[in-house]
Amino acid sequence: MTGSIKRAPFDVESYSRRSRTRPCFICAIVDGVSDQPEEIVYDDGEHIAFLPNFFVLPGYVLVAPRTHIEHVVRDLPEDRFVAVMKVVRRVALALEASVPCERTYLLSLGSQQGNAHLHWHIAGLPPGVPYEQQQYHALMAENGVIERTPEETAALAARIRKALGA
């Protein structure tokens, strides 16, 4: 992608196994019992936004309802869907104010087989990424994850919180 980004290999098999056999990682974050502490950047009592442990792009945030909901369309009444999308937009704008972004990707991923808790990925594509390395390619952990120190992660979280006015 860009020359200054250091990437580390990502063990997709191990991640997949953990996702399928361990309790819900988002519920663990909400309950404060996660074994891998994430930097929470937003919490309004209904929704939570946090920096995940595995960044595939320099700006990457997950947004989820605090309640364990599994399906983006069927499990949310329209007013709650709109409410969470407003949070997604607000966090995305804060991310864009915190890191250079050519484009911001929004995706609701997960599966009934693992990572079932409804969540949105907000991923800021940095400027200058060659077209062939954008879109799905940029989002695939199989292409490596960004190496980041806890201090770098905390600094990004602080910038996002500041942009959110938190």
Q: For residue 114, report the phi and psi dihedrals to the nearest 5 degrees.
A: 175, 145
Query: Does residue 157 lie in a domain region?
Result: yes
Q: Which has the closest alpha carbon to 39: 141, 119, 139, 156?
A: 156
Query: Per the structure block, which two tokens stand in for 7?
Result: 């990437």
Query: Does residue 159 lie in a domain region?
Result: yes
Structural domain including 150 reads 7-164
Query: Does residue 2 lie in a domain region?
Result: no
Query: Does residue 138 lie in a domain region?
Result: yes
SS3 call for 56: coil
Query: Per the structure block, which two tokens stand in for 103?
Result: 């484009």
Q: What are 30-45's pLDDT values in tens digits?
A: 998 887 768 999 999 9
Query: Does residue 1 lie in a domain region?
Result: no
Q: Which has the closest alpha carbon to 70: 106, 10, 114?
A: 114
Domains: count for the chain: 1
Query: Does residue 52 lie in a domain region?
Result: yes
Instruction: Quote the pLDDT of residue 82.
Output: 96
Say how far apart CA 116 and CA 112 lie, in whole Å.
5
Label residue 77 exposed, middle or buried (CB < 10 Å: 0-12, 13-18, 19+).
exposed
Q: What are 102-157's pLDDT values in tens digits?
A: 999 999 988 888 788 999 999 999 999 999 999 999 999 888 899 889 999 999 99
Q: CATH number for the domain including 21?
A: 3.30.428.10
Instruction: Quote the pLDDT of residue 112.
Output: 83
